[in-house]
Amino acid sequence: MRIPVRTLGAVGQVMWWVFAGLAVTNLLFDIRYTYLITWLAAVPAVVLPYVARRLSRPHAEPVAVEVDPPVTGRWLGHNSPADKVPSHGTRGLGQAYAIDILAEPEDRAGARPAFGWWPLMRRNAHFPAFGEPLFAVADATVVRTGAKRRDHLSRNSWPAMVYLLFEGALRSIGGPYWVVGNHVLLDLGDGTYALYAHLKRGSVTVRAGERVRAGQVLGRCGNSGNTTEPHLHFQLMDSDDLRIAHGVPFRWRGVGVPAAGEYFTVPETAPR
């Protein structure tokens, strides 16, 4: 009998909402037995998505897929699978081999604000990555897009990071797309999908079902979803359902896999 792993993931998401609602109820009202019911709801909320991922887990180590870089210009690697796997500390949401990259153009070297204590938050215009175009890494079909979430202020200070922890917990309750923010999800074929996360509000130029060519502009880098500052979160995975997806390793042609703290440049005239 085929096990409905997508259903398990969906039920787990529903249980998260139930758990969140009950937890808020406990904070506002002292209702008898709700403490017990809350923690009973927490168990499937945590366990079901994990079981779904385990059941759909590939038996062999995935092979790296070579694709074009999603950007041009000079960028900086961050949270990279070249340093550790899972690169973001979790395999959830297909992030095992995900990478974050920050724009560091030569003509604005040192322009990106440093992480520190003050100011608590900054406007996105202070970051060179904000508004930079993002390109299709291969010929593909658009599976899903999202473009209506706001670009919030940066969280690149120590006090703001504390706030981000609480904010991230609330976003995870809301579901995967509250975490990734505005996004484009591509079907590259052969069971491989590419996710571009944290895009700028209103910048997505493609729609679900559309066929795109390698090098085509999909949208622009933003600061939506669970982010500290404007950047691109890019990943390959084996499913279009983030709740059960497993990460797939990638290599960018002419670049490889940039390590955290490593600069790389993609010429605008590079063949795409």
Would you state the pLDDT for residue 171?
A: 75
User: Taking 60 as the threshold, does the pLDDT of residue 52 lie above it?
Assistant: no
- Helix segments in 29-77, DSSP class H: 34-55
User: Beta 140-146 vs 250-252: how paired, if at all?
Assistant: unpaired
DSSP run (H or E) holding 6: helix 5-28
- Residues listed for the chain: 272
Beta-bridge partner residues of 9:
none
Q: What is d(CA 148, CA 145) in angstroms, rounded to the nearest whole number?
A: 10
Q: What is the pLDDT of residues 67-116, one digit of tens each?
A: 999 999 999 999 999 999 999 998 989 999 999 999 998 776 666 777 77
> pLDDT band at residue 122, thresholds of 50, 70 and 90?
confident
Closest CA to 150 of 175, 172, 123, 129: 123
Instruction: Determine the pLDDT at residue 151.
Output: 95
C-alpha 7/C-alpha 201 separation (Å) is 30
| Euclidean distance between CA atoms 91 and 242, whole angstroms | 11
Architecture of domain 65-266: Distorted Sandwich (2.70)
CA atoms of 169 and 82, how far apart (whole Å): 27
pLDDT of residue 264: 97
User: What's the pLDDT at 163?
Assistant: 74
Q: What is the mean pLDDT of the chain?
A: 83
Across 150-162, b (16+ Cβ under 10 Å) vs e yields: ebbbbbbbeebee
**pLDDT tens digits, one per residue of 218-261:** 999 999 998 989 999 999 999 999 988 999 999 999 999 999 99
> Where does residue 90 rank: exposed (0-12), middle (13-18), buried (19+ CB within 10 A)?
exposed
